[in-house]
Amino acid sequence: MSEALSISPTEKMIARKEGPIGWIIFNNPERRNAVSVDMWEAIPRILDDYESDEAIRVIVLRGAGEKAFVSGADISQFEKMRASAADTRAYDQKVEAATTRISECMKPTIAMVYGWCMGGGVSIAMSCDLRLVAEGGRFGVPAAKLGVGYQPHALKKLLDVVGPSFTKEIFFTARPFSAEEALAMGWINRVVPVEQLDALVRDYAETIGGNAPLTIRAVKQSVKELLKNSKEQDLSSAIKMVEACFGSEDYVEGRRAFMEKRKPEFKGR
């Protein structure tokens, strides 16, 4: 990997570009990569850089080491940062800005999960497009053990993926779920042995990165709109992206590559 970039304002967030992959690494291993305020604030800035870089086709989020993806928000800051209702609103706005930026990123995002993925870590992982997990992974939202309330928008990300019954079970029990349980719920996409996760993520990233960016972008927008209430949907935006695919250089390249029996070289335009 290349050296860490200077786009992150905190050493607790490592940003690296490696070919078509933009890495975002939560670097707080002494707290199992719990996310502090400065880390939440760094996420949109890193994504802004990756989204504007045409060389980056896929963004992978992971925790430092193999003990945890993100164990949650840094609870040691709650006494000061969430001491009152006003403080809590200000803190939650930072969290929402970060997770919304991930979910609305126009480039595909992958959560690469080793070990613990709890609370705020679940919010981050659910904001990604795909979740690829090593055996031994643990998922859960311990809000009911802390007396923490979850905003509806944060619940909806989980609800859209696992449905109402599993969402209630996850929150009501506040217990950790194994990777195998999470897979059965549809909470995650794949589970592999620990030693195979790196290869799986790189394979997915290279495969996705080699496909047509405009097609992927159109699918992301369509899925986003179709998950909304029918009265709130703006399918026109997705339709415009679909039409842009057929008017693109990439569509010409894709057809020619197919006829010439070669791998296409998509440019995203």
* Predicted TM-score of the model (pTM): 0.90
- Whether 76 and 190 map to the same domain: the answer is yes
The answer to whether position 268 is within a domain reads no
- Whether 51 and 93 map to the same domain: the answer is yes
Range of the domain at 182: 13-209
The angle at the Cα of 224, spanning 220 to 228, to the nearest 5 degrees, equals: 165
Alpha-carbon gap, residue 88 to 80, rounded angstroms: 10
- Whether 166 and 112 map to the same domain: the answer is yes
The answer to whether position 265 is within a domain reads no
- Whether 143 and 52 map to the same domain: the answer is yes
- The DSSP 8-state label assigned to residue 245 in this structure reads H
* pLDDT value of residue 75: 63
- Whether 161 and 228 map to the same domain: the answer is no
Which pair of structure tokens corresponds to residue 222? 């369509």
The answer to whether position 143 is within a domain reads yes
- CB proximity list for 89: less than 8 A, separation 6 or greater: none
- Whether 183 and 232 map to the same domain: the answer is no
Cβ atoms of 188 and 131 closer than 8 Å: yes
The answer to whether position 267 is within a domain reads no
Unique residue bearing structure tokens 């400065």: 38
- Whether 47 and 173 map to the same domain: the answer is yes
* pLDDT value of residue 1: 44
Q: Total domain count for the chain?
A: 2
- Whether 146 and 124 map to the same domain: the answer is yes
Concatenating the DSSP letter of every residue in 108-166 gives: -EEEEE-SEEETHHHHHHHHSSEEEEETT-EEE-THHHHT----HHHHHHHHHHHHHHH
In this predicted model, what pLDDT tens digit does every residue of 213-249 receive, in sequence order? 999 999 999 999 998 888 888 899 889 989 999 999 8
Which range has the worst mean pLDDT, 79-83, 177-181, 253-257, 262-266? 79-83
- Whether 188 and 218 map to the same domain: the answer is no
- CB proximity list for 24: less than 8 A, separation 6 or greater: 13, 14, 15, 43, 46, 47, 59, 60, 61, 62
In this predicted model, what pLDDT tens digit does every residue of 99-149 receive, in sequence order? 999 999 999 999 999 999 999 899 999 999 999 999 999 999 998 988 888
29: domain CATH number? 3.90.226.10
The answer to whether position 114 is within a domain reads yes
The answer to whether position 264 is within a domain reads no
Q: Which amino acid is at 61?
A: L
- Whether 128 and 84 map to the same domain: the answer is yes
The answer to whether position 164 is within a domain reads yes
Which pair of structure tokens corresponds to residue 110? 């992958």
- Final residue before a domain boundary, out of 209, 233, 248: 209
Is 22 a residue whose pLDDT tops 90?
Answer: yes
Is 24 a residue whose pLDDT tops 70?
Answer: yes
- Whether 166 and 228 map to the same domain: the answer is no
The answer to whether position 7 is within a domain reads no
- Whether 157 and 107 map to the same domain: the answer is yes
